[in-house]
């Protein structure tokens, strides 16, 4: 196989670089949501025990919006950095062309599944927005925001998976690595390790 | 035929190195499409994605992981590990045993098995490799020690089981204490055996005086503080487990700041890492949900239960079959998904056989622990691999002796229910 191996670090091309910037922006929002959950929970407990006045809105805000934001907005960034666990036992043993072809197929059908989820969620977000659907609670939070957060995260994940399907196929055809692949595991001779 | 096709798709995608979550989601979706066409698949896809992350209780996952990230920044885990090393590091394999004790200690301040494995991987593996430990032994010990967090309170798995089975969570948590200690001892005895068989795998460490030993305990106070912030608030009823996880993350952040280790860059890295790890777990749960719906609609789970019920054998043999089923499911499915999918089916059977539900809950959680370290979906091994970048084959082979030892521990817990039930019986 010719060409160097592109790992999860530098982007393989301009599109991947542009996508990575979008993904970093989304994961920043995800971490903000995580920090918000932590702070709201602490304030809620403090208010309940110190002032007997718990936050009436915390349960719904966290359950409806913030957990979704933490999860779905971090999805594409995690995919970009190969953070989603995968079996790396068999793939390295395969010839490069076969591996790229199988991964192109796999990411292709995955893209179709993610596209279906994205489209269905977009429809639900649109319906909920137009009908002004809200939860039945002390504060009637609108439900379209949760669907919209999911739609955005899944849409960018679709782009990342679609990109991988296309560029794994290109790699299989050209015989060169044109897409980022997971960093190789270290060997017996190299005990350097890296914590992320 | 449909089940066969779906399983083939699952295996093909896993072998090709696709993310496990995508493999489960796609194979489940293919199976659902073949089973009921687009209407069925559409109905499930519409609800599954959002329901995976739509709930207050799920915050225990990001919060406990975030707590672990802040603990890593603070260096508290290093101190816990260092203190354990000072106390038991002198003997051959002592650093590995210290890892187990640190794992048990970390389990007492975290309910997340993967977070425990991640923390131990980042602290103890470099130390063991530096001491000249065989990497296989070092990584195997870390992966198996991470599972202690699933048993020692607060345990997310036991809490989840309590919610599903409608059993008092306090009793379940107390029921996990002695089995947790038994499993800790089992792992340590396995290390003793491995080192006895191959002394080159683990060197002896240096010895410490009593002054150094007691001085090392002074650095363990943050662990006591975190233990109080998490388990203490749950036991006392001050906070629910979900609230306690948020408090724990906040307390860990304060400890990191107190230790002057918390910078903006480190905080950003910790939170991004916590978000990515949370995302990785929830994505698998999402995939497992889609796959689980397929299993449920095609009645694979029900057929299995009916088959077990129809067997003419003693209730103990049926229990063995059920535990074997959990063992096999653990090879392929996420532990949380297994609990969600199977407990509603197996618990009535267990109650019908007049077994104790608290004891059964602890048993299946210990059995599910095995799945955390066995291929192809051993989550803890993946986490250790992610942190250390070592080959998965090496890690899995390092954990195999512990798997056999674990099976013996499960047999002891099954044969002597009192080990699990004595402590809950003393509760008022």
Q: In this complex, do A113 and B273 lie within 8 Å of one another by their Cβ atoms?
A: no
Contacts of A127 (CB under 8 A, 6+ apart): A133
pLDDT computed for residue B157 by the predictor: 78
Largest Cα–Cα distance in chain B? 71
Cis peptide leading into residue B154 (ω within 30°): yes
Residue B91 DSSP one-character state: S
Q: Which residue has the higher pLDDT, B112 or B117?
A: B117
What is the torsional sign of CA A17, A19, A22, A24? negative
| Chain B residues inside the 8 Å CB shell of A158 | none
3-state secondary structure of B260: coil
pLDDT computed for residue A196 by the predictor: 31
How many angstroms separate the CA of residue B414 from the nearest CA in chain A? 33
d(CA B348, CA B334): 22
Give tens-digit pLDDT for B298-312.
877 677 667 767 777
pLDDT higher than threshold 50 for residue A2: no
Query: What ipTM describes this predicted complex?
Result: 0.89
d(CA A32, CA B132): 41
How many angstroms separate the CA of residue B299 from the nearest CA in chain A? 23
C-beta of residue B291 within 8 angstroms of C-beta of residue B332: no
Q: In this complex, do A62 and B379 lie within 8 Å of one another by their Cβ atoms?
A: no
Q: Is B249 on the interface with A (CB under 8 A)?
A: yes
pLDDT computed for residue A167 by the predictor: 94
CA-nearest residue of chain B to A42? B247
pLDDT computed for residue B159 by the predictor: 73
Q: Exposed, middle or buried, A179 (CB in 10 Å: 0-12/13-18/19+)?
A: buried
pLDDT computed for residue B375 by the predictor: 73
Structure tokens, B396: 């899995």
pLDDT computed for residue B305 by the predictor: 67
At CB < 8 A and 24+ separation, what contacts does A46-53 make? A49/B238
Q: How confident is the model at residue A115 (pLDDT cuts 50, 70, 90)?
A: very high
Give tens-digit pLDDT for A130-141.
999 998 888 899
CA-nearest residue of chain B to A191? B129
Q: Which residues make beta-bridge pairs with B378?
A: none
pLDDT higher than threshold 90 for residue B107: no
* Least reliable range by pLDDT among A3-17, B296-310, B362-376: A3-17
CA distances from residue B111 to B22, B60, B152, B366 in whole angstroms, order as listed: 26, 9, 8, 14
Q: Which residue has the higher pLDDT, B329 or B59?
A: B59
Q: How confident is the model at residue A4 (pLDDT cuts 50, 70, 90)?
A: very low
How many angstroms separate the CA of residue A14 from the nearest CA in chain B? 24
Q: Which residue has the higher pLDDT, B383 or A73?
A: A73
d(CA B317, CA B337): 25
- Token pair 């939170």: residue: B271
Q: In this complex, do A75 and B279 lie within 8 Å of one another by their Cβ atoms?
A: yes
Supply the pTM of this predicted model. Answer: 0.78
Contacts of A122 (CB under 8 A, 6+ apart): A147, A151
C-beta of residue A74 within 8 angstroms of C-beta of residue A26: yes
3-state secondary structure of B56: coil
Q: How confident is the model at residue A189 (pLDDT cuts 50, 70, 90)?
A: very low
From the list A37, A86, A183, the residue facing B17 with the nearest CB is A86
Q: In this complex, do A34 and B275 lie within 8 Å of one another by their Cβ atoms?
A: yes
Q: In this complex, do B18 and A107 lie within 8 Å of one another by their Cβ atoms?
A: yes
Substitution target in B11, B15, B18, B115 with the highest count of A β-carbons within 10 Å is B18
pLDDT computed for residue A10 by the predictor: 66
Q: Is B18 on the interface with A (CB under 8 A)?
A: yes
pLDDT computed for residue A121 by the predictor: 95
Residue B297 DSSP one-character state: H
Q: In this complex, do B272 and A193 lie within 8 Å of one another by their Cβ atoms?
A: no
pLDDT higher than threshold 60 for residue A194: no
Q: In this complex, do B246 and A42 lie within 8 Å of one another by their Cβ atoms?
A: yes
Mean local confidence (pLDDT), A120-125: 95
C-beta of residue A151 within 8 angstroms of C-beta of residue A93: no
C-beta of residue B139 within 8 angstroms of C-beta of residue B394: yes
Q: Is B38 on the interface with A (CB under 8 A)?
A: no
Substitution target in B28, B128, B377, B389 with the highest count of A β-carbons within 10 Å is B389
Mean local confidence (pLDDT), B180-186: 93
CA-angle at B419, arms to B414 and B425, nearest 5°: 120
pLDDT computed for residue B336 by the predictor: 66
C-beta of residue B54 within 8 angstroms of C-beta of residue A146: yes
d(CA B69, CA B269): 9
pLDDT computed for residue B222 by the predictor: 82
Count the residues in chain A. 196
From the list B46, B278, B376, the residue facing A70 with the nearest CB is B278
Q: Is B54 on the interface with A (CB under 8 A)?
A: yes
C-beta of residue A82 within 8 angstroms of C-beta of residue A182: yes
How many angstroms separate the CA of residue B52 from the nearest CA in chain A? 9
| Chain B residues inside the 8 Å CB shell of A111 | none
What is the torsional sign of CA B310, B316, B321, B327? positive
Q: Which residue has the higher pLDDT, A98 or B152?
A: A98
pLDDT computed for residue A89 by the predictor: 67
d(CA B152, CA B423): 13
Q: Is B257 on the interface with A (CB under 8 A)?
A: no
Residue B200 DSSP one-character state: G
d(CA A8, CA B389): 13
Contacts of A104 (CB under 8 A, 6+ apart): A164, A165, A166, A168, A169, A172
Q: Compute the mean pLDDT over every residue in chain A, rounded to the nearest whole number.
A: 85
Q: Exposed, middle or buried, B12 (CB in 10 Å: 0-12/13-18/19+)?
A: middle
Cis peptide leading into residue B376 (ω within 30°): yes
Q: In this complex, do B20 and A86 lie within 8 Å of one another by their Cβ atoms?
A: yes
- Token pair 């068989």: residue: B197
pLDDT higher than threshold 90 for residue A191: no
Determine what percent of chain B is predicted with pLDDT higher than 90: 22
Q: Where are the domains of chain B?
A: 1-54, 58-288+301-425
C-beta of residue B341 within 8 angstroms of C-beta of residue B296: yes
| Chain B residues inside the 8 Å CB shell of A78 | 275-276, 279-280, 283
Q: Is B331 on the interface with A (CB under 8 A)?
A: no
**Kind and range of the H or E run holding B330:** helix B315-332
d(CA B387, CA A128): 42
Contacts of B416 (CB under 8 A, 6+ apart): none
Give tens-digit pLDDT for B248-268.
899 989 999 998 888 999 999
Q: How confident is the model at residue B377 (pLDDT cuts 50, 70, 90)?
A: low
pLDDT higher than threshold 80 for residue B21: yes
Residues of B numbered 183-222 whose beta carbons fall under 8 angstroms of chain A's beta carbons: which are they? none
Q: Compute the mean pLDDT over every residue in chain B, rounded to the nearest whole number.
A: 83
pLDDT computed for residue B199 by the predictor: 84
Give tens-digit pLDDT for A22-72.
999 999 999 999 999 999 999 998 998 888 888 889 989 999 999 999 999
pLDDT higher than threshold 70 for residue A88: no
Residues of B numbered 357-416 whose beta carbons fall under 8 angstroms of chain A's beta carbons: which are they? 375-376, 379, 382, 385-394
pLDDT higher than threshold 70 for residue A1: no
Give tens-digit pLDDT for B207-260.
788 888 788 777 788 878 887 777 777 667 677 777 888 988 999 899 999 988
Q: Is B289 on the interface with A (CB under 8 A)?
A: no
Mean local confidence (pLDDT), B72-90: 78
Please give the distance of CA B221 from its chain centroid, rounded to a whole number.
Answer: 25
Contacts of B49 (CB under 8 A, 6+ apart): A117, A121, A150, A154, B286
C-beta of residue B339 within 8 angstroms of C-beta of residue B349: no
CA-nearest residue of chain A to B67? A38
Q: In this complex, do B279 and A70 lie within 8 Å of one another by their Cβ atoms?
A: yes
| Chain A residues inside the 8 Å CB shell of B394 | 188
């Amino acid at each position: 196989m010719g060409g160097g191996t592109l790992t999860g670090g530098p982007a393989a091309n301009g599109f991947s670089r542009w996508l990575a910037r979008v993904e970093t922006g989304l994961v920043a929002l995800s971490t903000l949501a995580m920090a918000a959950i932590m702070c709201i929970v602490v304030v809620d407990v403090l208010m309940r025990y110190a002032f007997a006045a718990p936050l009436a809105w915390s349960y719904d805000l966290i359950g409806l919006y913030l957990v979704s934001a933490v999860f779905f907005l971090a999805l594409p960034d995690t995919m970009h950095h190969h953070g989603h666990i995968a079996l790396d036992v068999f793939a390295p043993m395969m010839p490069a062309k076969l591996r790229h072809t199988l991964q192109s197929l796999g990411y292709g059908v995955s893209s179709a599944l993610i596209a279906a989820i994205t489209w269905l969620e977009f429809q639900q977000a649109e319906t909920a927005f137009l009908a002004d659907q809200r939860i039945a609670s002390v504060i009637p939070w609108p439900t379209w925001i949760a669907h919209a957060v999911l739609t955005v995260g899944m849409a960018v994940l679709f782009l990342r998976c679609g990109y991988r399907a296309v560029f794994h196929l290109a790699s299989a055809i050209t015989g060169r690595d044109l897409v980022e692949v997971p960093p190789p595991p270290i060997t017996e001779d190299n005990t350097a390790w890296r914590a992320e | 035929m449909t089940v066969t096709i779906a399983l083939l798709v699952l295996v093909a995608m896993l072998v090709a190195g696709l993310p496990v979550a995508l493999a489960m989601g796609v194979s489940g979706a293919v199976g659902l499409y073949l089973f009921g066409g687009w209407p069925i698949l559409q109905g499930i896809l519409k609800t599954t994605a959002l329901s995976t992350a739509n709930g207050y209780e799920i915050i225990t996952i990001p919060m406990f992981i975030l707590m672990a990230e802040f603990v890593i920044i603070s260096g508290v885990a290093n101190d816990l590990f260092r203190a354990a090393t000072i106390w038991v590091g002198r003997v051959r394999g002592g650093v590995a045993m210290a890892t187990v004790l640190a794992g048990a200690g970390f389990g007492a301040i975290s309910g997340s098995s993967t977070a425990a494995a991640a923390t131990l991987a980042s602290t103890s593996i470099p130390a063991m490799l530096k001491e000249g430990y065989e990497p296989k032994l070092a990584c195997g010990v870390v992966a198996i020690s991470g599972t202690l967090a699933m048993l020692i309170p607060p345990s997310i798995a036991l809490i989840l089981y309590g919610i599903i089975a409608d059993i008092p969570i306090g009793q379940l948590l107390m029921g996990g204490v002695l089995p947790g200690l038994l499993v800790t001892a089992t792992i340590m005895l396995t290390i003793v055996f491995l080192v006895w068989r191959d002394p080159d795998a683990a060197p002896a460490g240096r010895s410490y005086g009593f002054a150094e030993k007691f001085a090392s305990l002074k650095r363990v106070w943050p662990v006591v503080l975190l233990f109080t912030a998490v388990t203490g608030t749950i036991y006392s009823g001050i906070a629910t487990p979900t609230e306690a996880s948020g408090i724990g993350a906040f307390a860990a952040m304060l400890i990191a700041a107190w230790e002057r280790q918390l910078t903006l860059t480190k905080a950003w890295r910790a939170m991004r890492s916590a978000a990515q790890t949370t995302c990785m777990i929830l994505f698998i749960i999402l995939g497992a949900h889609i796959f689980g719906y397929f299993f449920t609609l095609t009645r694979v789970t029900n057929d299995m239960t009916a088959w077990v019920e129809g067997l003419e054998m003693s209730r103990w043999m049926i229990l063995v079959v059920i535990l074997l089923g959990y063992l096999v499911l653990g090879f392929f499915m996420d532990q949380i998904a297994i609990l969600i999918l199977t407990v509603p089916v197996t618990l009535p059977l267990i109650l019908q056989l007049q077994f104790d539900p608290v004891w059964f809950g602890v048993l299946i959680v210990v059995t599910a622990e095995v799945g955390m370290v066995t291929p192809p979906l051993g989550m803890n091994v993946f986490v250790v691999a992610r942190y250390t970048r070592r080959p998965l084959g090496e890690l899995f082979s390092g954990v195999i002796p512990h798997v056999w030892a674990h099976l013996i521990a499960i047999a002891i817990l099954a044969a002597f229910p009192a080990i699990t039930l004595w402590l809950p019986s003393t509760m008022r």
